[in-house]
């Protein structure tokens, strides 16, 4: 699923850029959940 023209910090992003960002966010969320599970 691609979200085109979504505004992140007021800038309209392309499909490719948003895909990259959402991918990075999902990785960060997974790492955060792993860290959270330790505490």
Q: What is the pLDDT of residue 13?
A: 56
pLDDT tens, position by position, 1-36: 444 555 555 555 556 666 677 778 888 888 888 888
- At residue 39, does pLDDT exceed 80? no
Contact 34, 26 (CB under 8 A): no
Q: What is the pLDDT of residue 22?
A: 76
Contact 5, 17 (CB under 8 A): no
Question: Within its chain, how far is the Cα of 5 from the centroid?
Answer: 15
Q: What is the pLDDT of residue 1?
A: 41
What would the two tokens of residue 29 be?
Answer: 């969320």
Q: For residue 6, what are the CA distances in angstroms to 16, 22, 36?
A: 11, 11, 30
- pTM exceeding the 0.85 threshold for the entire prediction: no
- Other CB atoms within a 10 A radius of the CB of residue 1 amount to 4
């Amino acid at each position: 699923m691609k979200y085109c023209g979504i505004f992140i910090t007021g800038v309209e992003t392309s499909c490719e850029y948003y895909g990259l960002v959402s991918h990075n966010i999902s990785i960060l969320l997974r790492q955060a959940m792993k860290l959270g599970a330790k505490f």
